[in-house]
Chain A
Amino acid sequence: MSASGPRMQPTLFELSKPGRRSDKVPHPPSDALDRLPAEHRRERPPALPEVNEPDAVRHFVNLSQLNHAVDTGFYPLGSCTMKWNPKVNEWAARLPGFAQLHPMAPDAVAQGTLQLLWEVEQILIEVSGMAAVTLQPAAGAHGELTGILMIRAYHRSRGDMDRTDVLVPDSAHGTNPATATMAGLRTVSIKAAADGGIDIDAFKAALGPHTAAVMITNPSTMGLFESRIGQLLEAVHAVGALAYMDGANLNAILGRFKPGEAGFDVMHINTHKTFSTPHGGGGPGAGPVAVVEKLAPFLPAPRVVRESDGRFRLEGVGERPTSIGRMRSFVGSTGVLVRAYAYLRTHGGSGLAEITDDAVLAANYLKGRLAASGAYDIPFPGVCKHEFIASATSIKKRTGVRTLDIAKRLLDHGFHAPTVYFPLTVDEAMLIEPTETESVETLDAFADALIAIAHEADTDPETVKTAPHTAPVRRLDEVSAARNPNLRWRPAAGDWTPCPD
C-alpha cells in the first residue's frame, strides 16, 4: 500500500441522505401494523442510514481494500493457520440446497446435509483417533468449554465430585484458563521446562485427586512437539484425571500423530485453522470436539444418528439424558462444516498427510533461513512443527527497536505481521506460521524482509519505530480509545429524519 492507495472512508451514517429509498422489498399494505398494541410500538423509527446501492457498494468495496487478507498476501499469523481458503468451499456453502435449508426442517427433508455432517464426523474421528465427535461448538474456545464440561460431567457421573483443578501450561492460549473458569473449575498454571516443553516434574507435583483435567496444546504454542507427552498422559490417567488436547495446532500432525491413539481423552478442532474454512475477519469458525468412548454419553445434544436403513436423523429432545446439554441453538455452524467437508474430501487421507508435511517443511525452511542470518534470536533451535518462535530480544537491547516495531514495519513490506508477544513466556516473541500453501518464493521474500528490518533497526531505528509508513493509517491512539471509548456513531440531532411514515 502507498499513500495513493486505498483511503479511509466516511461512515455509512455520513453517506446517508434523508429520503433515499431502495425499494428492495414490496411495500406492505398501509394497515399492516394497525393490530399492534400501542404499548409495544416503537415511538421513533431507528435512525438507520439511507443510502442507495451504488454508494453502499462503493463504501464496502473501498472499506474492504483497507484490509490485509489471505487473498491479498502472506499472513504468517502464528497459531491461526492462515492457509489458503479454497474458492470451491464458498461455492459449496452457497448451493441453495445447503444454504436455504431451515435448521428445524424435518429430518426427512434434510438427508443431504445430515449425511454430510455424519461424514464429517467420521473423517474427524479418523483424524483425531477418537471414538465420537460433536459438530455443535461454534469455535475453538466454544469447543474447549464443551470438552471441559464433558470432563466435569464424566467425573461427576462416577461420584467423583472433588475434582476442581485444571492444569494448564503457562504458554497456553488464554482461552484455556478462561474456559476452566467458565466451567466452574480452578486453573493451575504450570511453568514450561527450559527447553520449552512440558515440565513433567512440575506437572506430577500438581497432579492429584483434585485434578479434573490437564489441557495441553500439542504441538505447543512454541511450535514444538511435546515429546514427553506419553509420560504426562500416563501420569494424568494414574491419578484419575483426563487429558484435553487443544487442537489449535492440528495442522502440524495430520497423519503423523493421532491424539486419541496417543492417550488424549478429548480434543477440539478448529476448522478455520486446519480445514481451510475462512476466518471471516474474526469469525465464524467451528470447533468440533472429538472424544474417547467413555465420554461419548456426555456429548452435546442433538447428535446426528445414522439408522440401520442408512437414513439419518437428529436426536430428539431429551433422548440422551447423560448429555451435558446444548452449547448453542440448532445443530451447529453447518455452513462452515460444508466448507470443511469440501476440503476434507478434496484432500482425502493422503492429501491431509501432505498438508502437514508441507506446513512443517515451510516452517522449518523459514526458521532455518532466519537462524542462518543471525538477525533474530531463535530461542528453541532444532526441528519445529508448523510454526516457530523468533525473538527480537537482542535487537531491542542493541537498538531499542522492539518486536512491535518490527511487526509494524513488516506491514510496509506488504506482509501481515506474525503473532507478537505470544506466548507470554518468551520475551519479545514473534510466532511465525507460514502454512503449507505459501511458495518458497514467498517464504524467501518474507525472510528477506525480516532480515532487512533487523538491519534497518541498526542503521535507521527511527524508521522502524515509527512504522507503518505506507498503511492507510499510522499507529493508533489505543490509550484514548480505552480511556474514553467511542463505541458507536452518534448521529447529531436533526442531521436526518429517517423513515417518515
Chain B
Amino acid sequence: MAYGPHTPADRQRMLASLGMHSVDELFADIPPALRSSPLRLDPPESEQVLMGRLANLAGRNRIDLASFLGAGAYRHFSPPMVDHMLLRGEWYTAYTPYQPEVSQGTLQSIYEYESLIAELTGLDVVSASHYDGAAATAEAALMTCRATARDRVLVSRAVHPHYREVVRTYFHGAGLNVEEIPLVADGATAGTTDLGHLERALADGDHPVAGVVLPQPSFYGLLEPMAESSRLAHAAGALFVAVIEPVSLAVLAPPGAYGADIAAGEGQSLGIPPQYGGPYLGILACTDALVRQIPGRLVGMTTDVNGKRAYVMTLQAREQHIRREKAASNICTNQTLLALAATVWLAALGPHGLRDVAALGAARAAELEAALAAVGVPRLHEGAYLNEFVVRVPNAVAVHRELLENGVLAGLVLADAVPDEPGVADGLLVCTTEVTTTDEITAFARQMEGALAVTAHPVGGAA
C-alpha cells in the first residue's frame, strides 16, 4: 500500500497481539452473504507513472485561450505568497478546530476572514464559509424564511442561473415557495430587475414575502437598483438579500450601506483558481440581528483561563451536531482552506491593491466595449456595468465556436446558458479582469470581425 507504514513483521505482530493469524478474521463480523466481490479496478500505479498520467490529462484541457469568460468564476492575479501559504501542511492537513487549544492558527485565520468580509460587506456577522456562492444564496433565502416565519421568497432573474436553480432545489425540498422577478425588457434599465413587478409581488397581502434576493453586479454584469429594492422589501416586512461579488465591493456600495440584511456570494475571485468549478468559497454575512439564524460555523474572540486572547468556535448550539433535526442547516464540513486563501490574498493585495484590481478590470472592460463596438458588436443593454457585459452578436453560437478555433474564448453563449431568457438570446456575456491584456482585447475584436464574416457567409455551406 502506497503510504502504509507496516512491514510484514509489523502486521504479524499486530495480528498476534489479537490472537489472529489472518486479517480476514477481522472481517468475520460481515455476514458471508453480504461480503462483496473483489474490486474490479486497475492495479496500483507508481507515483512516477501516475504523474505522467495526470500531466497528460491536464494537457488535454486548453488553457492557452484568450479568455473573456466570467459568468460567476473569474481569473485574477494571485501573488505566489498565497499558494505558498496554502501548501503548508499545518493549514491544509488540519481539520475543524474541535480542540481549540491546538487549533489557534485556523481559528484566528477564520476570525480574520470574518473580519475582512464584514468590512467588505458592511455586515457584522460572517459565517466561516459555505460550499459556494449558490449554496450560500440558498442558505440566505432559507434564513429569511426562518427569521420572518414566512415561506415565500422572490429571486430576481438577474441572479446567476445556477444560483437560482440551487435555491429552487433547496426550496422544493423544504416545501417553501420561490418566485422569480423578471427583467426589464427594454429601455435604459433593460436587463435589470423589474422593480414594478417586484412591487406588485410584494403587495400580495395573502401571501407575505420572507425575502427578496437581488445580485450586485448581476449575472449580466449590470448594476442593479439595490437601494430601491431593499426599501421595497423592508416596506413589505421582508428581508433583503444581496448576492455579491467581493472584488467589486472595493468600489461598489456595500450591502450594509443599502440596508441589506444578508449578503451571499462567491468568494472564488479572492485568489482561488477557477479549477473547473471548485472548491470555491461561499460567502454568507448578515446583520447582528440575524446572528441566531445564520447557518454554519462562527469563530469568536475570547480569552483562556489565564485571560490571554484566544479564539474559539462559538454559538455552536445552532449547529447540526447539537441541534440535530432542529438545526438551521445540515452543514458540517465547509470551505475553511478557501477562506484562508481569500484572507491571505486580501492581505497580499491590501485595500489599494483590491481597488486596483476592481478598477483595472473596469478599465479593460471599457476598452473591450469600444473595441467590439468598433467591429459592429454593440452592448445589448444600456445600464451601467463594472467589468462584465452582454454584447449582441448575430448567430452567437456559431461565432463563439469560430472564435474558439482561433484561440479566443469569447465569453458565454447566453442562448445555451439561459435558454429561458429570450431577451438575451443573441447575447454573449463577456468579462475582463486585471489579467486581461490589451493584446487579447485587440485579438478578440479582430477575430470577431473575421468570425462575423465567416458565419454570415458560411464557406462550404456549413453553418
Contact = CB atoms under 8 A, between A and B. Distances in A.
A303 interface: no
A336 B277 CA distance: 10
Contacts of A163: none
Give the interface centre of B79, B96, B348, B352 by most chain A CB atoms within 10 Å: B352
A272 B110 CA distance: 20
Interface string A180-192: 1111101100000
18 contacts: A8-B108, A28-B363, A40-B384, A42-B249, A70-B89, A77-B98, A102-B274, A103-B275, A138-B131, A230-B34, A281-B106, A282-B96, A349-B41, A361-B6, A408-B99, A473-B100, A482-B314, A499-B355
A384 to B, nearest CB: 9
Interface stretch (A85-93, A237-245, A391-399): A85-93
B149 interface: no
Contacts of B41: 123, 126-127, 344, 348-349, 352
B115 interface: yes
Contacts of B301: 481, 486, 489
A466 B305 CA distance: 10
Contact of A80 (B62, B95, B124): B95
B128 A282 contact: yes
A360 B321 contact: no
Nearest to B160: A329
Contact of A334 (B106, B249, B278, B347): B278
Interface string B190-231: 000000000000000000000000000000000100010000
B61 A112 contact: yes
Given A53-B348, A103-B274, A329-B72, A141 B60 contact: no
A100 B162 contact: no
Contacts of B25: 383
Contacts of B109: 60, 63, 281
B275 A93 contact: yes
A486 B90 CA distance: 25
B11 A361 contact: yes
B344 A411 contact: no
Contacts of B390: none
A167 B291 CA distance: 31
B279 A330 contact: no
Task: Tell me whether chain A's interface is mostly helix, strand or loop, or mixed.
Answer: loop
Given A328-B135, A498-B351, 17 more contacts: A69-B90, A95-B55, A97-B61, A98-B61, A103-B276, A106-B404, A230-B33, A279-B92, A283-B334, A329-B163, A349-B40, A364-B14, A439-B10, A442-B5, A474-B308, A488-B115, A488-B126
A138 B304 contact: no
Interface string B375-390: 0000000001010000
Contact of B43 (A46, A127, A350): A350
A28 B360 contact: yes
B346 interface: yes
B420 to A, nearest CB: 8
A42 B273 contact: no
Interface in A126-165: 126-127, 129, 138-142, 144-145, 148-149, 152
B354 interface: yes
Contact of A84 (B3, B29, B43, B54): B3
B445 to A, nearest CB: 19
A187 B302 contact: no
A86 B133 CA distance: 29
A476 B304 contact: yes
Interface string B133-176: 11100000000000000000000000011110110111011110
A94 B126 CA distance: 29
A456 interface: no
A49 B347 contact: yes
A275 B27 CA distance: 21
Interface residues of B, number: 203
B276 A334 contact: yes
B271 to A, nearest CB: 11
Given A40-B223, A42-B251, A345-B42, A175 B63 contact: no
B50 to A, nearest CB: 6
Chain A to chain B: the 8 pairs with minimum beta-carbon distance, closest first: A71-B89, A97-B58, A280-B337, A330-B277, A112-B60, A349-B41, A282-B336, A284-B279
A283 to B, nearest CB: 4
A184 B176 CA distance: 9
Contact of A94 (B83, B103, B120, B418): B83
A488 B124 contact: yes
B81 A480 contact: no
Interface string A305-336: 00000000000111000001111111111111
Contacts of A281: 91-92, 94-97, 103, 106, 109, 336-337, 340
A193 B134 CA distance: 41
Interface string A77-120: 10010111110101111111111111111101111110110000
B327 interface: yes
Contact of A64 (B30, B90, B166, B366): B90
B166 A22 contact: no
B12 to A, nearest CB: 11
A141 B320 contact: yes
B277 A329 contact: yes
Contact of B169 (A63, A140, A327): A327
Contact of A279 (B4, B94, B276): B94
A257 B30 contact: yes
B20 to A, nearest CB: 8
Nearest to A301: B165
B106 A327 contact: no
B300 A487 contact: yes
B350 A178 contact: no
B31 A230 contact: yes
Contacts of A202: none
Contact of A41 (B84, B96, B253, B333): B253
A90 B33 CA distance: 40
Interface string B307-323: 01110101111011111
A217 to B, nearest CB: 14
A101 B50 contact: no
A138 B60 contact: no
Interface in B239-293: 249-254, 257, 266, 273-280, 291
A103 B326 CA distance: 35
Nearest to A335: B275
Contact of B119 (A48, A67, A324): A48
A445 interface: no
B278 A368 contact: no
A285 interface: yes
Contacts of A369: 17
Interface centre among B18, B75, B305, B314, by most chain A C-beta atoms within 10 angstroms, is B314
A328 B170 CA distance: 10
Contacts of A481: 300-302, 312, 314
Nearest to B281: A284
Contacts of A357: 23, 26
B461 interface: no
Contact of A8 (B6, B91, B308, B412): B308
A324 B434 CA distance: 38
Most A CB contacts (10 A, CB to CB) among B44, B131, B280 go to: B131
